[in-house]
Structure 1
């Protein structure tokens, strides 16, 4: 065996599997020796995972933010009478701060579920 074939064999072994990570089921494929500019592996679309924790958190933000906004606005406008109605402005601000990111991420999740072009579950951050 020549030194080149031994080197190629060792390269095949070292690239065959990702080492030192949690996911040991991820495989690499060796690039062809003749460069044509494209490989088949670059056109494979990986399976999409749904970030359930992030969607549940976004839904909770949307529900709590909406309820805080509605309740705070009703107190500020006088539909609900409280003794200290001037303290409801922080509730309106907190509701807006919770509503905006919740509505944004739930919208992305809905459009990704409906498979609207340009939307993907990869746009939603995952929590580990």
Structure 2
């Protein structure tokens, strides 16, 4: 609980940011897994350019979502160098 009160000011919890980061992580993971399954042929094969596009979009959505979830988890575990101010509004 001490992490929520930095300098006697309660930290503003950005619930929309937490939800958005979680959705980015889940959508990115789904796109990466789907792209890998398409690439290996477990799902009916489409054009290679579409598969590469799915993988690129998956990584572009996954990376920021994962980054923000790591900051949120570290803040909840009361790590010294992490705070909610590191997250965008």
Report the TM-score when normalising by structure 2.
0.85
CA RMSD of aligned residues (A): 1.5
How many Å apart are 1:120 and its aligned residue?
Answer: 0.7
Is there any run of 5+ residues in structure 1 with no aligned partner, and where?
Answer: 1-43
Q: More strand by proportion, 1 or 2?
A: 2
Counterpart position of 1:49? 12
The structure with higher relative contact order (CA 8 Å, sep 6+) is 2
Alignment of 1:90 with 2:36, yes or no, is: no
Which has the larger Rg? 1
SS at match of 1:50: coil
Report the TM-score when normalising by structure 1.
0.60
Is there any run of 5+ residues in structure 2 with no aligned partner, and where?
Answer: 1-6
Distance 2:85 2:76 in 1: 12
The runs of at least 4 consecutive aligned structure 1 residues that moved more than 3 Å come to none
Q: More helix by proportion, 1 or 2?
A: 2
